[in-house]
Chain A
Amino acid sequence: MVNSQGRLALAAVNPAAQAAGLAPGQGLADARALCPALATAPADGAADARALAALADWCLRYTPWTAPDPSAGIGAGIWLDITGCAHLFASPQCPEGEAALLADLVERLGRSGFVARAAVADTPGAAWALARFGPARTAVVPPGTQRSALAPLPVAALRLPAAAVEDLERLGLRRVGDLYDLPRAAVEARFGAERSGQVLRRLDQALGLSPEPISRHNPRLGRPLPPWRARLALAEPISRSEDVAAGLARLLGQLCPRLEREGRGARRLELCLFRSDASLDRAAIGTSRPSRDPDHLAALFAERLAGLETGAEGDGGIELMVLEATATEPMTPAQTTLDRWVAGTEALAAAEAFGAAEAFGAAGLGPLVDRLAARLGAANVMRLAAHESHLPERAVRRRPVHVRDRGHAWTQDRERPIRLLARPEPVRVTAATGGAPDRFDWRRAIHHVARAEGPERLAPEWWRAEAAASEGAPFRDYYRVEDRAGGRFWLFRAGDDWFLHGLFG
């Protein structure tokens, strides 16, 4: 039920309502009159769109190109470009495989509770028309015959707006075939340029007379199709995690040698698990550097797959696994296995990352870093790089372990704390002599200062001084102080305020 132009109307009907003569678009009052027992619920367009998108994802099992087609009012659908895919379903009875693909699609959807119609044709327009208005639940239009296949269908099958359909019907043009022989000039004269252009464009597209460009990009993923793809169809649905791991090993066994032949390594891999209940699970991993070592990649997936819900046998089991390398980078042969990193150019990269002198063995860290990043997040695995700044909180940067950049030397000429608080914490200095504090409160404890050194004046870089000045004091006076219990603090004064910034070992 949907609110349409100020009145409540039916958005969709179930088979029982259809049998009672109800149809989408009908006003609620009319529908109630026809069928007093009608049960209604508000339409949730967003939820419908989500469900359709999920179903389009699931259809990736047939082809890497699928897209949801909301087609509000007529019946939502899903586009599948099966160019080069149908032969996988070919059999002696069905050498083209297209009919078998459609039968499989409709049957699987039916088992999951979806009533579906499907059609294959040369043009998207013809397939759309046959799937919605064709006489049979599945239809295969042989190449070049869409003209005759479309002729008996109503003009609404041409993906036209409702107003255009009404215009055509008013003129007695009810069938697509009625349009074939109309002189184009006459159509234009009757409808005006805009409407007639619309009708003729759709007609030509459906017949294949004018091209309808469809992107070879996967619109769901928003990027070109990854050429690195391996699929494994399973005779029996699986659900045990060991079986999934074994399937993954076979997929990696297909994919990794291909990557090696092409001199590439994977930076990102995505595993799609297609379930028998028309749902789909995805697991993606990233690597810190290109890799095509099956064992290493399988170990990274293990962490992801551990959290995956494995359905019961048969129901919701996994029927198809597809592995895609969604990002790859060139990789030299020496890098093939991670154990050999030390010997190859990788060792040099690690040497640069860690500073040539300290590179010892750093190269072997790759697998460990990837495992840690897979579970804890890449941002949580880092190294510290010195940064040239006068302000202590800006003197250290956290960098990815393997990013190569020239680090600055660590300043060792002044004592610095071993722990620096995330933010300077305000303290209350209750007594001070000659600038240095005698007593201060921090975290609800009073500290009596036994020794103090300072001040060391730190000012922000001149190009940041203006910003700092607007925040308050332009410079800070730092003191190292020791309390009577032996605690060692790094305090600073900015203007009249005192802050604790760090703790010494």
Chain B
Amino acid sequence: MLSGPDIDDRRTAEDRLSALRAQLAVIEGLPEMAAGGRRDQVLPFASVPGLTGLAEALPWAGLPRPALHEVIAAGPAPADAAATGFCAALLGALALHAAAPVLWIVRDTTLYGPGLAAFGLDPARLVLVRAPRNRDVLWAMEEGLRSPALAAVLGEADDVSLFASRRLQLAAEGTGVTGLLLRRAGSRVPPPSAAVTRWRVQPIAGEALQASDAIVRTCWQVELLRCRGGRPGTWIIDFRTEEDAHGRTTDSVPVPALLRDGSDPPRRAAG
């Protein structure tokens, strides 16, 4: 179905690619993603500071918004802070993309505003809800997902049954509010859920830029464990602050330095 003269035309190739992706989405059972024109339904990874390299991970080049996504911490503290940062980056971009506030349902009071701001989530756009019990977290998530005034809802739930995750997924589909499940308990991969994507985030020691480099910087190994129509894989996400690259500045919004697939030789990301 690809005809010769068009292949060189970059724009046409992109159109064809998105048409194919739309077909794929229909096959994969995500009809709401299938309409090629509905770009607003996808959060492009290219717009998420730090995560631009993940674009190739998913068939939509970004995160489908009317869906539930799951982020699993590789372990308890300190490892869960990496998953928290990953979620903060996604929520910050979702708040900007949908021009609406986000809801974060926490179990404890450790979430720290200045740190969220460093990952691009402006605390002014955040409503924080503390729910001591797991079932309250799920209830609050569903309430949030049914409220179109929000861009996204994150819940720190320990225990999510397949049934409960299905309810959340349906609520997200209904309103277009993005759902994130942050599994902080770590250690084990939780049982299957109805989430559209499932990620695992592990902090890793960043490579020294120079032998004498003592700069502590954010560096993660992000694994896509599951995605309908996606390509499971592993990405290294290495943040280097402006401070590192250009000397002392006051802007600490992280930008990606290096992204690479775990198996492939390093390549530059379009960040």
Binding site for B on A (CB under 8 A): 354-355, 358, 360-365, 367-369, 371-372, 375-376, 380-386, 392, 395-396, 398, 401, 407, 410-422, 443, 450-453, 480-489, 502-505
Residues of B at the A interface (CB closer than 8 Å) are 77-82, 84-86, 88, 99-101, 103, 108-119, 122-131, 136, 139-140, 143-144, 147-150, 202-206, 208, 213-216, 218-219, 241, 250-253
Beyond A360-B99, A486-B219, whether A376 also contacts B77 by CB under 8 A is no
Task: Looking at the assembled complex, report how far the CB atom of B78 sits from the nearest CB atom of chain A, in whole angstroms.
Answer: 4
B216–A416 CB distance below 8 A: no
- In Å, the complex CA distance between A407 and B214 comes to 35
The 6 closest A-B pairs by CB, nearest first: A505-B85, A364-B149, A418-B115, A487-B78, A416-B114, A503-B81
Q: Are A489 and B127 in contact (CB under 8 A)?
A: no
A-B contact pairs, 11 of them (CB 8 A): A358-B122, A365-B149, A368-B147, A376-B131, A383-B128, A385-B123, A396-B123, A411-B114, A413-B252, A451-B216, A486-B202
B78 and A360 contact, CB distance less than 8 A: no
Q: Quick check: B114 and A380 within 8 Å, CB to CB?
A: no
Q: Contact: B129 with A380, CB < 8 Å?
A: yes
A365 partner, pick from B84, B109, B147, B219, beta carbons under 8 A: B147
Bound-state Cα–Cα, A228 to B252, Å: 54
B216 touches A488 (CB 8 A): yes
Residue of A whose beta carbon sits closest to that of B251: A412
A376 and B129 form a contact (CB under 8 A): yes
Tell me which residues across on chain B come within 8 A of A401, comparing CB atoms. 127
Taking a contact as CB atoms under 8 Å apart, the answer to whether A361 and B149 are in contact is: yes
Which chain B residues lie closer than 8 Å to A413 at the CB level?
250, 252
Q: Verify A416–B118 contact, CB threshold 8 A.
A: yes
Taking a contact as CB atoms under 8 Å apart, the answer to whether A361 and B99 are in contact is yes
CA distance A422 to B79 in the complex (A): 17
Q: How far is the CA of A480 from the CA of B216 in the complex (A)?
A: 7
A418 and B119 form a contact (CB under 8 A)? yes
Closest beta carbon of chain A to B247's beta carbon, Å: 14
A487 touches B203 (CB 8 A): yes
Once the chains bind, are A505 and B127 in contact (CB under 8 Å)? no
Residues of A contacting B118 in the complex (Cβ-Cβ under 8 angstroms): 412, 415-416, 418, 505
Task: Establish whether residues B128 and A419, one from each chain, have CB atoms under 8 Å apart when the complex forms.
Answer: no
Contact B214 A453 (CB under 8 A): yes
Docked-complex contact A365 and B127, CB < 8 angstroms? yes
Q: With A486-B219, A503-B81 given, is the CB distance from A420 to B115 under 8 Å?
A: yes
In the complex, chain B residues whose CB is within 8 Å of the CB of A392? 112, 114
Q: How far is the CA of A254 from the CA of B123 in the complex (A)?
A: 41
Task: From A355, A412, A418, A488, name the one whose CB has the most chain B CB atoms within 10 angstroms.
Answer: A418
B114 touches A450 (CB 8 A): no
When distances are taken between beta carbons in the complex, the residues of chain A under 8 Å from B101 are 354, 358, 360-362, 365
Nearest-CB residue, chain B, relative to A341:
B149
Which chain B residue lies CB-closest to A488? B216
The smallest C-beta distance from B209 to any residue of chain A, in angstroms, reads 11
- Asked if residues A410 and B123 are in contact (CB atoms below 8 Å), the reply is yes
CA distance A372 to B146 in the complex (A): 13
Does A369 contact B127, Cβ atoms closer than 8 Å?
A: yes
Closest Cβ of chain B to A309, distance in Å, is 21
Q: Which residues of B contact A372 (CB under 8 A)?
A: 129, 140, 143
CA separation between A504 and B82, bound complex, in Å? 7
Question: Considering only CB atoms, which chain A residue lies closest to B215 in the complex?
Answer: A453
Determine the residue in chain A with the shortest Cβ distance to B104. Answer: A384
**Alpha-carbon distance A398/B213, docked complex (angstroms):** 37
On chain B, the residues within 8 Å of A505 by CB distance are: 81-82, 84-86, 88, 115, 118-119, 203, 218
- Nearest chain-B residue to A399 (Cβ)? B128
CB B152 to nearest CB in A, in angstroms, measures 12
State in angstroms the CA–CA spacing of A413 and B82 once bound together: 21
A358 B206 Cβ-Cβ under 8 A: no
B115: nearest chain-A partner, CB-CB: A418
Report the Cα distance A487→B75, complex, angstroms. Answer: 10
Q: Decide yes or no: A502 and B124 within 8 Å by CB, A360-B100, A417-B81 being known contacts.
A: no
